[in-house]
Amino acid sequence: MRIKDIAKLAGVSPATVSRVMNNNGYVKEDKRKAVLEVIEAVDYQPNEIAKSLKSQKSRMIGVIVPKISTETASRVVAGVTHVAKTAGYQVLIANTNLDIEEEIKYLKFLSNKSVDGIIMMGTEVTDRHLEVMNKLTIPIVILGQKVSGYTSIIHNDYDASYQMTEYLINQGHKAIGFIGVDEKDYAVGVLRKKGYLDCLSDYNLNGSDGLIAIGDFDIDTGFKMMKKILAKSQPTAVFAVTDHLAIGAIHALLDQGYRVPEDISVVGIGDIKLAEYLNPPLTTMHYTFKTSGQMAAEAVFDLIENNAHKGEQLMTSFQLKERRSVKHL
Amino acid sequence: MRIKDIAKLAGVSPATVSRVMNNNGYVKEDKRKAVLEVIEAVDYQPNEIAKSLKSQKSRMIGVIVPKISTETASRVVAGVTHVAKTAGYQVLIANTNLDIEEEIKYLKFLSNKSVDGIIMMGTEVTDRHLEVMNKLTIPIVILGQKVSGYTSIIHNDYDASYQMTEYLINQGHKAIGFIGVDEKDYAVGVLRKKGYLDCLSDYNLNGSDGLIAIGDFDIDTGFKMMKKILAKSQPTAVFAVTDHLAIGAIHALLDQGYRVPEDISVVGIGDIKLAEYLNPPLTTMHYTFKTSGQMAAEAVFDLIENNAHKGEQLMTSFQLKERRSVKHL
DNA sequence: CTGTTAGCGCATTCAA
DNA sequence: TTGAATGCGCTAACAG
């Protein structure tokens, strides 16, 4: 059913149908009514693709995520779809499974006007990314990493990490272990580590090598890194940079016969949904991933529709969730 | 950069450029080379929207999910995006937040050729849904519910539930509580309950009213329903129809001073990622949500590209994960 | 106020 | 083997 058919049925021209559908231009009341009736009767739905070709806008945005099945990513996407809906946009998901080539491929592919804007949830942003991003003609916002020159939504990783470390110190801990990730992920790998190190140093504490272990993002890494730390040192608390890592660490501890938090305390960052249902309930920093997604979406729409200033850096808040995985010494 | 520009740069006609891009028709080798060089040089990306308008195919599929931030949904979407990628399709996400009107709206909206096929992750499939689905001209596959006449990917909820109940009975349990959900969700609300009831009956056991509680899908419901059951009866085991419900139940039990599984055993269905890291590690039925998503995607593509027979019912497997939340009596 | 025309970028006739 | 012309469905410009 095309606009032409509706026009014929209503006894008007296609242009008139278009005018009533889009509520612009003058249309006499009786014709408008006639058109509306036909539209109603046949449940006419305009062809969005044709509209896109004409208007050079697709009313779609692309979201590039490293791994959709992750709680973080799905919360972000929930936030994005939420504001996209009220703005009348559709969202296209590109799941890259952390493959940089895939990310770049999608960056290019999505750009040929097949979407009006892009939100990229970044882990690592390389020069290759930048090169492609610089050629993009559509707005892009980066979520999770700070990229100068591009609008970014970032989590306050440094402060969150610093404050978490400080919290542990305030609870009387001095030997604080650290489980981190590779520095290729600047936000998580570098910033969270720096927050920890700086805080330690500010309190004249020592982050010796034996207390620090670096690995991947998964629970199993948390498990292994915890054992590695235990082999070299005797922390009273361990700060894992993600909740999953913390869960792995707790299990390693339990496995070695330690009690948490009685013998060793453990904290994470992120506040996954189940954090409070863990045993012990995990003390962690609550991150507002859904809100980040919303902010990112609002930022792209602002860029798309209002030609907003590109390059703004928005920072989301975090909040300490004190639960029961830390012992006050 | 349009096809016309490339043509000009390469000194050929747009038609020739189109021929080399799509590898069809005859093109003399030197011209082909010239075109390829220009394409390479300017990194030409064809306009997908124009292609779609021309071909009447968008190479996109829509996925309607009740709530993307849910582990189940995000695993399904991971499966869908995975096979979509290899098939060269993009996926459009429509997040309905369990709003039936939204589902219907998207069913209509996505259909106007803006996608080539739809995967709907269903909770409740009403007559209104059916009415709209019947008018659809593009293929649709339902995931999670059985809808006759439509290709559906279903989980074997009845058998999973029956076997879980039987497992509990084999462990010596006779008073088995049940935490379920509303029957509007046929698969989870009706089938899983029926599996439980039928099994009980086959073993001449009694699913008295005091042992059964029905509520929503969230953890808190599990908590409340568990307390409700405890107020009326004294089960030795409780079967919750989802892992989240089971987690809530465990917490209610702990809260009342019971030990799990020493005093009361608890099982769930789904096998969320953290199930094995819970305390106690949760015995549950492993469901293959990512595989379901893959199957659904394969099914739509089959419908789209090979005009496959519509109405097939595919059932996914499940597997008991015996962990430590059940005591052998 | 309304209809006719043209063109968005592409692939596909049809001629040459 | 190639190019010119056409049309996918829509909306904007222009004419009336």
What pLDDT is stored for residue A110 in this prediction? 87
What pLDDT is stored for residue B308 in this prediction? 85
**CATH code 1.10.260.40 for B3-46:** yes
Among the partner residues B69, B109, B274, nearest to A74 by beta-carbon distance: B69
What pLDDT is stored for residue A20 in this prediction? 96
- A113, pLDDT greater than 90: no
Q: What's the rounded mean pLDDT across residues A38-56?
A: 94
From CA B126, how far away is CA B100, in angstroms rounded?
9
What pLDDT is stored for residue B257 in this prediction? 96
Q: In sequence order, what DSSP letters do the residues of A69-102 get, joined into one string?
A: TSHHHHHHHHHHHHHHHHHT-EEEEEE-TT-HHH
What are the distances in angstroms from CA A278 to CA A243, A275, B248? 11, 5, 11
Cβ contact B132:B107 at 8 Å: yes
How much is the mean pLDDT over chain A?
A: 95
What pLDDT is stored for residue A206 in this prediction? 81
Partners of A111 on chain B (C-beta within 8 Å) are 45
Residue B2 in contact with partner chain A when CB distance is under 8 A: no
Among the partner residues B73, B82, B114, nearest to A48 by beta-carbon distance: B114
Q: What's the rounded mean pLDDT across residues A105-132?
A: 90
> Residue A219 corresponds to which amino acid?
I
From CA A271, how far away is CA A14, in angstroms rounded?
55
- B104, pLDDT greater than 80: yes
What pLDDT is stored for residue B30 in this prediction? 93
Distance A25 CA to D14 C1' (A): 14
CB contact under 8 A, A73 and B74: yes
Distance of CA B204 to the CA centre of its chain: 35
What pLDDT is stored for residue A146 in this prediction? 94
Partners of A46 on chain B (C-beta within 8 Å) are 112
Cβ contact B47:A113 at 8 Å: yes
- A328, pLDDT greater than 90: yes
Give pTM, 2 decimals: 0.94
What pLDDT is stored for residue B208 in this prediction? 79
Distance A53 CA to D5 C1' (A): 20
Which of A259-268, B106-115, B142-151 bottoms out in mean pLDDT, i.e. has the lowest?
B106-115
Partners of B68 on chain A (C-beta within 8 Å) are 74, 77-78, 81
Q: Which of B77, B59, B134, B73 is nearest to B104 (CA)?
A: B134
Q: What's the rounded mean pLDDT across residues B233-258?
A: 97
- B111, pLDDT greater than 90: no
| Residue B3, both tokens | 């096809």
* % of chain A beyond a pLDDT of 90: 91
What pLDDT is stored for residue B206 in this prediction? 81
Nearest residue for D5, CA–C1'? B15
Handedness of CA A126, A127, A128, A130 (dihedral sign): positive
Indicate if B157-287 has the same CATH topology as B58-155+289-318: yes
From CA B222, how far away is CA B215, in angstroms rounded?
8
From CA B155, how far away is CA A327, in angstroms rounded?
44
pLDDT in tens, A170-220: 999 999 999 999 999 999 999 999 999 999 999 999 877 789 999 999 999
What pLDDT is stored for residue A207 in this prediction? 76
- B113, pLDDT greater than 90: no
**CATH code 3.40.50.2300 for A157-287:** yes
pLDDT in tens, B8-40: 999 999 999 999 999 988 999 999 999 999 999
pLDDT in tens, A2-32: 999 999 999 999 999 999 999 988 999 999 9
What pLDDT is stored for residue A73 in this prediction? 97
In what helix (H) or strand (E) does residue A238 lie, and over which residues does it extend?
Answer: strand A237-240
Q: Which of B264, B252, B325, B318 is nearest to B291 (CA)?
A: B318
Cβ contact A130:A262 at 8 Å: no
User: What residue spans define the domains of chain B?
Assistant: 3-46, 58-155+289-318, 157-287
From CA A76, how far away is CA A59, in angstroms rounded?
19
Q: What's the rounded mean pLDDT across residues A91-118?
A: 90
CATH code, residues B58-155+289-318: 3.40.50.2300
What pLDDT is stored for residue A307 in this prediction? 85
From CA B59, how far away is CA B81, in angstroms rounded?
13
| Residue A168, both tokens | 């542990």
A108 φ/ψ angles, rounded to the nearest 5 degrees: -70, -50
Cβ contact A155:A177 at 8 Å: no
Residue B71 in contact with partner chain A when CB distance is under 8 A: yes
- B81, pLDDT greater than 80: yes
pLDDT in tens, B303-325: 999 888 889 999 999 999 999 99
| Residue B20, both tokens | 């080399």
- B207, pLDDT greater than 90: no
Among the partner residues B49, B74, B109, nearest to A58 by beta-carbon distance: B49
Show which of residues 193-212 on chain B sit within 8 Å of chain A, judged by CB atoms: none
Nearest residue for D9, CA–C1'? A50
